[in-house]
Amino acid sequence: MSAAGFERGETRLPDWDPSADDQIQPFVLEQSGVRGRLIRLGPALDTILTRPGYPGPVARLLGELLALCGVLGSSLKYDGVFTLQIKGDGAIRTMVADLTHEGELRGYAGFDAAALAAAGGEAGGEVGREAAQDDGTIERWLGNGHMAFTVDQGVYSERYQGLVELTGPRLADSLLHYFRQSQQLNAGILVACERRGSGWRGGALLIERIPGEGGRGGEGTGAVAGEFGGDIAEEDWRRALILMASCTDAELADPAISPERLLFRLFHEEGIRVFEPQPVAVGCRCTRERVERILRSIPREQIDEMKVEGEVVMTCEFCSRDFRFDDPALDRLYGGGREDAG
Ligand SMILES: [Zn+2]
């Protein structure tokens, strides 16, 4: 992230700027020792959710997961991939979202169509906004399960994984549960995903207490706090949380309120400073070589059984891209590929 922050005066706030979609807006609240990020997803989210044609409840929850992945993953300073993954025993069995350090976002969901219909989520249907607010989405669609966090910095570095039980009603509640449990971070988080006229839109807002900063005159959060320092810091943090909580789902996703305007509306009394936004784009890392590696790990006889009209079609779960293998392609794969099976 660029260190060159700039201040916004009240009079210079822009009106709706469509280019403010699909980006992450970092900020700090100087009065309260808080930093945060707001992600706003428009066309990128709509592409990911509509390409496979997910039913409404699936799209909505996957959209939330993508927004959460973006807002969390963008804070990590590394070259690699941040992944959020959910496994549940409900109609939606699995959801994955990942973000690369270059801002490429992708995701997919696996669900049981019959179970989804039985739970009231007909294919192509949509949860009404009011219903979505209070119908206990995790319990209804995902059931019991867990959410995993993975930071993958490539072949030669460690994978870090965190795990938390799904705790509802909303996905953000599971994350807060994780933060509390792991005591890594004093954080607040909001997320929303809605279908509007222009397509699926989403947003997520994360604030975290800057370690060692207590806001106005405060001196940290515990042992070294001055006579009143700790209390002031705690007050500042609680005030930031309360201000954040006044943000609605509609505002988080609203294309008519730019991220800067929304942040200013929420936190204008806290000395807000915004930094250069980071763009997010749809991106997938699938390649024919990767698909070939998967195929080579399966016996040829089984592969042959997968043939439809003379060819095997492997479809990327993330981007729906098809990889086709006819007989000559399979012969090449199985004839010459054994030596590099590792
Ligand atoms: Zn792909």
Q: DSSP of 21-60, one letter per residue?
A: SSEEEEEEETTTTEEEEEEEESHHHHHHHHTTT--HHHHH
Query: Ligand 1 centroid to 322 CA: how many Å?
Result: 9
Do 325 and 272 fall into the same domain?
Answer: no
Domain final residue, candidates 282, 307, 330: 282
Are 35 and 187 in contact by the 8 Å Cβ rule? The answer is no
State the Cα angle at 282 between 18 and 196, rounded to 5°: 45
Which of 233, 252, 282 represents a domain boundary (last residue)? 282
Assess whether 170 and 308 both reside in one domain. Answer: no
Measured in Å, residue 318 CA sits from the centre of ligand 1 at 5
Whole-angstrom distance, CA of residue 92 vs CA of residue 80: 27
Q: Are residues 177 and 309 in the same domain?
A: no
Same domain, 131 and 45: yes
**How many angstroms is it from 317 CA to the middle of ligand 1?**
7
* Claim to verify: residue 294 and residue 203 sit in the same structural domain: no
Between the CA of 323 and the centroid of ligand 1 the distance, in Å, is 10
pLDDT of residue 186: 86
Q: 154 C-alpha vs ligand 1 centroid, how far in Å?
A: 18
**The domain that contains 233 carries what CATH number?**
3.55.30.10
Distance (Å) from CA 296 to ligand 1 centroid: 19
CATH number at residue 322: 3.90.1280.10
Kindly state the helix (H) or strand (E) to which residue 62 belongs, with its residue range: helix 56-73
Strand partners, 341: none
- Give the residue numbers spanning the domain of 314: 288-340
- From the list 241, 247, 218, the residue with the least C-alpha distance to 230 is 218
C-alpha 100/C-alpha 103 separation (Å) is 5
CA 297 to chain CA mean position, Å:
31
Q: How far is CA 334 from CA 126, 236, 337, in A?
A: 45, 64, 5
DSSP 3-state helix, strand, coil percentages of the chain (rounded to 5)? 35, 25, 35
What is the C-alpha separation between 46 and 329, in angstroms, rounded?
A: 34
CA distances 141 to 107, 149, 173, 240, 338, Å, are 17, 20, 15, 32, 43
pLDDT value at position 4?
A: 39
pLDDT the model gives residue 122: 59
Question: pLDDT 10s per residue in the chain (342 long)?
Answer: 333 334 444 344 444 566 689 999 999 999 888 999 999 999 999 999 999 889 999 999 999 999 999 999 987 777 889 999 999 999 999 999 999 999 999 999 999 999 998 888 754 444 444 344 435 588 889 999 999 989 887 766 667 788 999 998 899 999 888 888 877 678 999 999 999 887 999 999 999 998 766 545 444 443 333 344 467 788 999 999 999 999 999 999 998 899 999 999 999 999 999 999 999 999 999 999 999 999 999 998 898 898 999 999 999 999 999 999 999 999 998 885 444 443
Tell me how far the alpha carbon of residue 236 lies from the centroid of ligand 1, in angstroms: 44
Ligand 1 geometric centre to CA of 298 (Å)? 20
Strand-pair category, 34-41 with 199-209 = antiparallel
CA of 48 to the centre of ligand 1 (A): 11
